[in-house]
Amino acid sequence: RRPGALLFIDLNNFKAVNDHRGHAAGDEALRAFGQAITEECRVGDLVARLGGDEFAVWLEETDAQGAAVKAHALRRIGADMHLRFGSAVAPLGVAMGIALHGPDDEESVPDLIARADAAMYRDKAAFPDRLPMTKSGGSAA
């Protein structure tokens, strides 16, 4: 019964990393991304790998502004992953969707996940060629 936000995250173009750098590099990228997300989150937040290159983060007691700040920080982590594991042939980026949950919402967990997933796909469709952000917030060349 507390407010929160669910962030649904997909590593864009992850298959190309596996194809061009090998599955060992892909596995390392997934571990590094998961660890970096976990380190960015607060005690009480929940980080999960949903499968493949998809992750979810539950931000307890978070409103829209807090979720947006966290999403921006996680996009910077995506930029770091591009610098470490991506390339011009296999650029690595992040698509993300946010679903807010209010204290009086009766929405089921599967419905909340579906809403965050749909928002992530809208982000992916809106910016199909999005270059990863640099730490300063601009796009990487």
Taking the C-alpha atoms of residue 103 and residue 61, their distance in angstroms, rounded to an integer, is 9
Any idea which residue has 């190309």 for tokens? 16
Q: How far apart are the first and last CA of the chain?
A: 44
Comparing CA positions, the residue from 12, 44, 106, 121 lying closest to residue 57 is 44
**Which residue of the set 10, 27, 45, 53 is catalytic?**
53
Comparing CA positions, the residue from 98, 103, 126 lying closest to residue 113 is 98
53 belongs to the catalytic site: yes
| Radius of gyration for the alpha carbons in the chain, expressed in angstroms and rounded | 15
Q: Give catalytic residue positions.
A: 53
